[in-house]
Amino acid sequence: MAAKSSDLKLLGGWFSPFATRVKIALNIKGLEYQNFEEDLESKSDLLLRSNPVHKKIPVLIHGEKSICESSIIVEYIDEVWSNGPSILPQDAYDRAIARFWVSYIDDKFLACMKNILGGGEDEDEKKQHFEQLEEVFVRLEEAFNKCRDGKPFFGGNNVGFIDITFGSFLPLIRVIEEINGNKVISDEKFPVLANWAGNFAADSVVVGTLPEIDKLVLFTKALQQKWAAAKAAAK
Amino acid sequence: MAAKSSDLKLLGGWFSPFATRVKIALNIKGLEYQNFEEDLESKSDLLLRSNPVHKKIPVLIHGEKSICESSIIVEYIDEVWSNGPSILPQDAYDRAIARFWVSYIDDKFLACMKNILGGGEDEDEKKQHFEQLEEVFVRLEEAFNKCRDGKPFFGGNNVGFIDITFGSFLPLIRVIEEINGNKVISDEKFPVLANWAGNFAADSVVVGTLPEIDKLVLFTKALQQKWAAAKAAAK
């Protein structure tokens, strides 16, 4: 199925790893789309109408249809434009494994990100959060070794479902490294993931989709201040 | 693809709504399987080996392959035995909608269940948790009206992905009603869901998969005591 750019609208935000996932999936399929930048402080009527349950980005609008939740959108894109390069593996078991790691990343990894970015200044707590993050990386390094079989991506020779899901968080990992002054995906500890991260960021379907780190650092610090103020006000 | 019962093992537990999901999916496809009851206090080596990341039930073992996470298992069953009755809709957009509600149930509804069952005796807090649950039911009643188009199930004329996901929680909803002495899916407030719940429990693919309520009440009360003791010990 071909798509005109007017058929496809992405309601996203430059800062959102979840919107980045959709952009990469659209690039893999070579689809043109209109990108709408949402302001989370003042969401558009289109967003509120298109995702009345969660009122969150990203939303993909395909003709008259709205699809919400980034992983669901990526699967939708893969299924509708099934003649393009595959995002999910063709084999049902490999697909289950890909979905397992996507769900793991959205659950465990995301929780670590939230703890680290939203946590306070308590050093013991911080240390614990970084230890949890390291545990997740150990798992992913191991999973990556199993999945890729010597190839450059979790998806084999091409960026696939796990790559998109985890790779879209790479800028946020860099932000955490900047803010905290430590390397979390170091070449020594996680050689395979560090190598993968380089492959990912350089791939043609990814180039241009990842936010600039400096800009994302400022954005994240502003968010952290807002959270801290809200926490203080709630006390 | 045909399957001998020896090919399929389910590591589950009679009390688990997540294991129930898998049982119903296997019934829909008419698949025989060996059921292994796990004791969560002393998990089997097979479970620990088959799901080393989460160490949780359910796990479906298909030949040499282990598939974890109930929703992923249900999709796997639907894809591998694709010649049987469909669990997910055929159309990509309808499939995205089904996945959306499954994710909603696993996120919002499950959080309500945990709050209500794990919460304390504070009346204001309790009231708030039941209000949140009611909000979820309002959404699902609305979604159901949209999806089913006058048919008996979310999945149309047959039990489908949303039915399995939400329906497997029905016994736990009954347990909450028993413990708290109030009706949460009442005919007056949620006529469509109440009607659906009856259709679901009576369907041939569901009969025999749902735990007995009396037994589940005892099991849940024992769990609640354990949680309360752990909470008290942590203070």
Q: For residue B75, which amino acid is it?
A: E
Please say if the pLDDT value at position B1 is more than 50: no
Interface probe, candidates A18, A81, A93, chain B, greatest B C-beta count within 10 A: A93
Contacts of A62 in chain B (CB under 8 A): 93
Q: How many angstroms away from the CA of B212 is the closest CA of chain A?
A: 31
By the 8 A CB rule, do A37 and A13 touch?
yes
Contacts of B95 in chain A (CB under 8 A): 75-76, 79
Q: Nearest CB to B72: which of A65, A76, A100?
A: A100
What residues contact A232, with CB distance under 8 A and at least 6 apart? none
By the 8 A CB rule, do B213 and B178 touch?
yes
Residue whose token pair is 């490294």: A177
CA-angle at A92, arms to A91 and A98, nearest 5°: 90
- Inter-chain touch B76–A53, beta carbons under 8 Å: no
| ipTM value | 0.94
Q: Nearest CB to A72: which of B68, B80, B96?
A: B96
Q: What is the mean pLDDT of residues A214-225?
A: 94
Convert the pLDDT of each residue in A25-81 to its tens digit.
Answer: 999 999 999 999 999 999 999 999 999 999 999 999 999 999 999 999 999 999 999
Percent helix, percent strand, percent coil in chain B, to nearest 5: 60, 10, 35
Please say if the pLDDT value at position A121 is more than 80: no
Please say if the pLDDT value at position B213 is more than 80: yes
Closest residue on chain A to B67 (Cα): A96
Q: How many angstroms away from the CA of A93 is the closest CA of chain B?
A: 7
Q: Nearest CB to B104: which of A53, A75, A104?
A: A53
Q: Nearest CB to B92: which of A76, A92, A99?
A: A76
Structure tokens at B50: 């088959």
Q: How many angstroms away from the CA of A76 is the closest CA of chain B?
A: 6
By the 8 A CB rule, do B50 and B58 touch?
no
Q: How many angstroms away from the CA of A54 is the closest CA of chain B?
A: 9
Contacts of A73 in chain B (CB under 8 A): 96
Closest residue on chain B to A70 (Cα): B100
Q: How many angstroms away from the CA of A19 is the closest CA of chain B?
A: 17
Q: Coil, strand, or helix at residue A34?
A: strand
Q: Nearest CB to A96: which of B76, B92, B100?
A: B76
Please say if the pLDDT value at position A219 is more than 90: yes
Q: How far apart are CA A230 and CA A146, in angstroms?
A: 43
Q: How far apart are CA B43 and CA A147, in angstroms?
A: 27
Closest residue on chain B to A52 (Cα): B139
- Inter-chain touch B72–A139, beta carbons under 8 Å: no
Residues of B with CB under 8 A from a CB of A: 53, 62, 65, 67-69, 72-73, 75-76, 79-80, 92-93, 95-96, 99-100, 103-104, 139
Convert the pLDDT of each residue in A153-170 to its tens digit.
Answer: 998 999 999 999 999 999
Structure tokens at A33: 């789309």
Q: How many angstroms away from the CA of B218 is the closest CA of chain A?
A: 31
Please say if the pLDDT value at position A145 is more than 80: yes
Q: What is the mean pLDDT of residues B175-200?
A: 91
Interface probe, candidates B29, B56, B99, chain A, greatest A C-beta count within 10 A: B99
Burial of B234 (0-12, 13-18, 19+ CB in 10 A): exposed
**Mean pLDDT computed over every residue of chain B:** 92
Closest residue on chain A to B90 (Cα): A79
Q: How many angstroms away from the CA of B104 is the closest CA of chain A?
A: 9
Structure tokens at A124: 């013991």
- Inter-chain touch B93–A75, beta carbons under 8 Å: no
Of A186-195, B99-108, B165-174, B208-217, least confident by mean pLDDT is A186-195
Please say if the pLDDT value at position B2 is more than 70: no
Q: How confident is the model at residue B4 (pLDDT cuts 50, 70, 90)?
A: low
Contacts of B73 in chain A (CB under 8 A): 96
Contacts of B100 in chain A (CB under 8 A): 53, 67-69, 72
Q: Coil, strand, or helix at residue B115?
A: helix
Q: Coil, strand, or helix at residue A105?
A: helix
Q: How confident is the model at residue B157 (pLDDT cuts 50, 70, 90)?
A: very high
Q: How many angstroms away from the CA of B227 is the closest CA of chain A?
A: 22
Residue whose token pair is 């395979």: A192
Within chain A, residue ranges assigned H as helices are: 17-28, 45-50, 70-80, 92-104, 110-118, 123-148, 161-167, 170-180, 191-202, 213-234
Contacts of A96 in chain B (CB under 8 A): 67, 72-73, 75-76
Please say if the pLDDT value at position A1 is more than 50: no
Q: What is the mean pLDDT of residues A199-218?
A: 97
Domains of chain B: 5-80 (3.40.30.10), 92-213 (1.20.1050.10)
